Structure 1
Amino acid sequence: MQTVHEKAGLNYHRCRWCGTASFRRLLCPVCASSDLKPEHSAGLGVVVRSGVVHRYTEAARNESLVRLPEGFVFRCRVVGAAPHLVSVGAQVRPVAGDGPEAGEVVFELCEPPRRDDWF
């Protein structure tokens, strides 16, 4: 099972047949091969889509799509700022999750939002 690496980074799989990188998949999303080899990413990614959701909790939270340089995109939460301050293009890194969402990949902003973005 792929998880956030304790020191830093993210474990994922790369297809031995077509070279496609994927995260938390049993089969390659391109060629459907099950011959996947584990690899490790530094985990630095870029937010390509960001939204604020209110589902299943009383508090608003961020839900974003993050693209990693290895070639895969996945949905996750971004923490480190108010949910509405996570913007497209922001650089993020994985953090170890704890609590009821353990096992969920959570990212944090590499740099806090600029003060002039708050209003």
Structure 2
Amino acid sequence: MDETGLSDQYRMASPWPIFVALGIPIAELGILFDVFVIAVGGLLLFCGSVTGMLKEAGYAKTVWRPLVVFAGLLFVAGGILAFTDVNLVTRGYAIITAGALLAAAGIGGELLVPKRETI
């Protein structure tokens, strides 16, 4: 009796594109309408998904260092918004908060998660 289904020669589908597609508008809506929690959540979803795609594609060995890079980018973008215009302060703080959470995850993961031997 034949087994039906996908064979090993076909590439498995990646879950990351749908999360990237959701993260961008969620973050934009949160930043646009000044909803702090939505902006932070959308940015975390977007940056985490892009980091997962980088790991899956083989561009990064671990997910921790790209998270720190995204955190730096968010610090810069949030700092520009928070410290240059009075009307965008809370939006800038939301972006800086997302950057701080990504930096904490990246640094904590790099330091606390044990390195795995490749087979």
For Structure 1 versus Structure 2, the TM-score category normalised by the shorter chain is under 0.3
Highest Rg: 1 or 2?
Answer: 2
Q: When you count strand as a share of all residues, which structure comes out higher? A: 1
